[in-house]
């Protein structure tokens, strides 16, 4: 109910967002606008660091000076968008949001090195049916796990459904963004009550973008910008002014790709460092780094059990980053990630029984969250 009220108010006080077309077109830019999420951004003790903007807002691609420059320059409301892949039956649409700094409660920052760091990059990917134009499923990046949203609480895959998918105007999923850590998940009924108690900003796609740092009200217009700056700099150079650090061999003919976004951080704390989407890997599974971004059809089938085509009509990674063919990707994705934040999985009859019980309980609780918020 609150979302409807907010939306009606928005129509009265601002320019209307771009309308969704009746038919799905083939143009990537129009696709990204049509399905652009509504971002409900919570605002905490450092409002400037909760502004959604672009990585190169200061005119350079060096992330080491972004936090300092964020208070000196306009912060245009921009969201990165890319049609990552197209199969015979689906589009995979990626939306990435950047914040100048990840922060936490002061005491936690004092105790834990990984509690805060410069730069933050989170986001979501949508699976859209080519035939009907319906959003089938959404995965969001919530710190170090993927969270699943769907229209039904039943998952036939390896991950349970975390939340009901709420959509505005039929094609714009409503996503909630934490303050401080900026984890992204689907907006839920319980969030409506929280919005009455905390400060928030609602970002909607429009023809023109606002300077988000200068907006005092709750509504902000954003535009979708190209993800090309990430792709062009992914393979280096890796130096003191680079966009990415820690060149990493993802397993593609020794090609090195930046694993982390540059910026100030304390110690290694690699699990907490800001990452581009090809470095996002769920700590609950053992899929290789890059699987979610490079081969989304495989991962969505594995997580949701959708049973959809994995044959690509187009895949941006094949051309821009990897220079490989479909069969090479199909072989690559079957490899397992040895390093796991949760540690090695156990084995044996008692461990497996306990794991099955834990999985059953987890799916039960997710079912409750799906229906009751």
Q: With pLDDT > 90 as the criterion, what percentage of the chain qualifies?
A: 68
Domain-embedded: residue 352:
no
- Stretch 2-28: mean pLDDT: 42
Q: What total number of domains does the chain contain?
A: 1
Please tell me the predicted confidence (pLDDT) of residue 1.
Answer: 47
Domain-embedded: residue 340:
no
Burial of 150 (0-12, 13-18, 19+ CB in 10 A): buried
Domain-embedded: residue 61:
yes
pLDDT band for 360, please (50, 70, 90 cuts): low
Q: Sign of dihedral through CA atoms 150, 306, 143, 7?
A: negative
- Stretch 318-346: mean pLDDT: 79
Q: Is the pTM of this model over 0.95?
A: no
* H or E element in which residue 247 lies: strand 244-249
314/227 Cα distance (integer angstroms)? 16
- Stretch 138-153: mean pLDDT: 94
Please tell me the predicted confidence (pLDDT) of residue 342.
Answer: 44
User: Which residue's entry shows tokens 């969201």?
Assistant: 79
Domain-embedded: residue 361:
no
Predicted confidence (pLDDT) at residue 12 exceeds the cutoff of 70? no
3-state secondary structure of 95: strand
The number of residues in the chain equals: 373
pLDDT in tens, 208-226: 999 999 999 999 999 999 9
Q: Name the residue with higher pLDDT: 196 or 123.
A: 123
pLDDT in tens, 270-283: 567 899 999 999 98
How many CA atoms lie within 13 Å of 55's alpha carbon, on the beta-carbon side?
Answer: 28
pLDDT band for 193, please (50, 70, 90 cuts): confident
- Stretch 24-53: mean pLDDT: 91
Q: With pLDDT > 70 as the criterion, what percentage of the chain qualifies?
A: 81
Domain-embedded: residue 287:
yes
Query: For residue 17, how many other CB atoms are within 10 A of its CB?
Result: 21
Domain-embedded: residue 131:
yes
Please tell me the predicted confidence (pLDDT) of residue 183.
Answer: 95
Among 130-139, 324-333, 340-349, whose mean pLDDT is lowest?
340-349
Predicted confidence (pLDDT) at residue 17 exceeds the cutoff of 50? no
- Stretch 107-123: mean pLDDT: 81
Q: What is the DSSP string of 149-192?
A: EESSS---SSS---EE--EETTTEEEEEE-SSS--EEE--HHHH
363/201 Cα distance (integer angstroms)? 32
- Stretch 120-131: mean pLDDT: 97
Q: Name the residue with higher pLDDT: 206 or 10.
A: 206
Which structural domain range is residue 256 located in? 2-332
Domain-embedded: residue 359:
no
Domain-embedded: residue 344:
no
Instruction: Categorise residue 63: left if φ over 0, alpha if ψ from -120 to 50, beta otherwise.
Output: alpha
* H or E element in which residue 296 lies: helix 296-304
Predicted confidence (pLDDT) at residue 355 exceeds the cutoff of 80? no
């Amino acid at each position: 109910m609150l979302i409807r009220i907010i939306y009606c108010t928005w129509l009265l006080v601002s320019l209307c967002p771009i309308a969704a077309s009746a038919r799905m077109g083939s143009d990537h830019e129009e696709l990204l606008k049509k399905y652009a999420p509504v971002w409900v951004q919570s605002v905490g003790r450092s409002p400037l660091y909760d502004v959604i903007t672009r990585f190169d807002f200061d005119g350079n691609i060096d992330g080491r000076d972004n936090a300092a420059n964020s208070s000196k320059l306009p912060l245009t409301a921009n969201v990165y968008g890319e049609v990552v892949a197209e199969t015979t039956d689906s589009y995979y649409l990626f939306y990435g949001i950047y914040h100048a700094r990840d922060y936490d409660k002061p005491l936690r920052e004092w105790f834990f090195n990984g509690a805060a760091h410069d730069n933050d990059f989170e986001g979501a990917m949508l699976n859209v049916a080519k035939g009907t134009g319906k959003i089938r499923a959404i995965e969001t990046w919530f710190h170090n796990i993927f969270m699943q949203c769907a229209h039904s609480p039943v998952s036939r895959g390896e991950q349970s459904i975390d939340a009901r998918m709420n959509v505005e105007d039929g094609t714009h999923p409503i996503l909630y963004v934490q303050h401080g850590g900026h984890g992204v998940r689907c907006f839920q009924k319980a969030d409506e009550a929280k919005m009455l108690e905390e400060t928030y900003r609602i970002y909607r796609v429009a023809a023109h973008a606002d300077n988000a740092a200068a907006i005092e009200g709750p509504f902000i217009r954003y535009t979708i910008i190209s993800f090309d700056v990430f792709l062009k700099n992914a393979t280096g150079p890796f130096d003191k002014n680079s966009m990415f650090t820690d060149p990493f061999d993802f397993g593609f003919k020794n090609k090195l790709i930046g694993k982390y976004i540059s910026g100030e951080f304390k110690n290694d704390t690699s699990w907490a460092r800001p990452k581009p989407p090809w470095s996002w890997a769920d700590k609950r599974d053992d899929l290789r780094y890059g699987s979610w971004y490079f081969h989304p059809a495989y991962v969505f089938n594995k997580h949701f059990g959708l049973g959809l085509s994995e044959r690509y009509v187009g895949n941006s990674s094949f051309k821009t980053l990897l220079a490989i063919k479909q069969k090479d990707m199909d072989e690559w994705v079957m490899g397992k990630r040895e390093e796991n934040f949760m540690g090695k999985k156990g084995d044996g009859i008692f461990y497996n029984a306990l794991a099955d019980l834990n999985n059953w309980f987890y799916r039960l609780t997710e079912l409750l969250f799906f229906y009751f918020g």
